[in-house]
Structure 1
Amino acid sequence: MLITQQWQHIRKVVNDAQKAAMHCSIATVDSNLQPTVSPIETLFLKENPSGFFFDTYTESLQQNLPQNSKACIQAVNSSRLFWLKALLKGEFSDYPGVRLYVEIGDLRLANAEELTQISRRIQSLKWTKGSHTHVRGFQVHDFKWVKYPKMMPFDQ
């Protein structure tokens, strides 16, 4: 079970990763148990170990989730500055990423609060033709930090 302090740290790492990469990855499996990774640009974590993402373009999720709603969401900080500092110092100042083991809910219409959050995030891209009206909620059941053992100076 995630404790509040861990969850706040996870939220920070995911936020840093999304700022750098502008997406996270979600891994699911198909009916033949073959893995598929889908990029998700609009992932939001709530105050408790849960979240939601806007699911408009991910064909593989629509095919895979009815058979198995479990997934792994991975967020990795790909900031060049973050990595350059780590390489120069020989250690990371924080975890470079996190994997969230989740159960994903059904596709549904976004509520007003969720639409407000996406509106804030994509403010500079409002002019594009993307549509963000359907979301999938998820519950986080476990997590694992992305680590590079020889470069992890802090308590692991």
Structure 2
Amino acid sequence: MNNQEWRHIRKVMENTQKAAMHCSIATVDAQLQPTITPIGTLFLRENQTGFFFDTYAESFKENLPQNKKACIQAINSSRLFWLKSLFKGEFSDYPGVRLYVEIGELRPATNEELAQIAQRIQSLKWTKGSQLIWSDFTQVRDFSVQSFRWVKYPKMMPFGK
């Protein structure tokens, strides 16, 4: 993928995470059964890589030793996005993206990564749930993006998309 496509992917991912507060990562276990894990702590870098905080996902510990490949799917679930699109009969942008990735080993988070998650959860930091869920983040997994596919509804895609 070229730099323009990657910038567009990052924009769509940002919009989907604002709306849904998470994306999904699909991995496969040793019996080839798929598992989908919601992750609200995924970040994309400028160089077609990214990372996510891995604190609660038991499936990654079980599935990744056999197969490091995964699919990350992010869908824009904003009601305003969908209502505008349905009213106009056309999406203003792709409603989502699938990233085909290879996931790395668990490692300690850097100070910069900890600052990024602190900024993302800042508006909810005062809630009891935020303190329970997001207070112990210390480990991340890097991933590299191998390819991607846009989520499309062909009859509602603008010309040229």
Whether TM exceeds 0.5 here: the answer is yes
C-alpha distance in 1, partners of 2:53/2:159? Answer: 34
Aligned residue-pair number: 155
- Give a deviation string over 1:66-89, Cα, whole Å, max 9, x none: 110000000000000000000000
C-alpha distance in 1, partners of 2:19/2:64? Answer: 28
Aligned to 1:34: 33
- Structure 1 counterpart of 2:50, one-letter code: G
C-alpha distance in 1, partners of 2:123/2:29? Answer: 35
- Structure 2 counterpart of 1:145, one-letter code: W
C-alpha distance in 2, partners of 1:88/1:71? Answer: 35
Aligned to 1:144: 149
Structure 2 residue 98 is matched with structure 1 residue 99? yes
Q: Secondary structure at the match of 2:132?
A: coil
TM-score scaled to structure 2, two decimals?
A: 0.94
Structure 2 residue 127 is matched with structure 1 residue 122? no
Aligned to 1:48: 47
C-alpha distance in 2, partners of 1:113/1:94? Answer: 30
After the TM superposition, list the runs of 4 or more consecutive aligned residues in structure 1 that deviate by more than 3 angstroms.
Answer: none
Gaps of 5+ in 2: none
- Give a deviation string over 1:97-156, Cα, whole Å, max 9, x none: 000000000011101110110110011333412321100000000000000000001313
Alpha-carbon distance, 1:62 to partner: 1.2
Q: Secondary structure at the match of 1:94?
A: coil
Gaps of 5+ in 1: none
Q: Which of 131, 134, 137 is equivalent to 2:139?
A: 134
RMSD of the alignment, in Å? Answer: 0.8
Q: Secondary structure at the match of 1:129?
A: helix
Aligned to 2:110: 111
Aligned to 1:76: 75
Which shifted more, 55-64 or 22-31? 55-64
Alpha-carbon distance, 1:32 to partner: 0.4
C-alpha distance in 2, partners of 1:112/1:155? Answer: 41
Q: Secondary structure at the match of 1:138?
A: strand
Q: Secondary structure at the match of 2:31?
A: coil
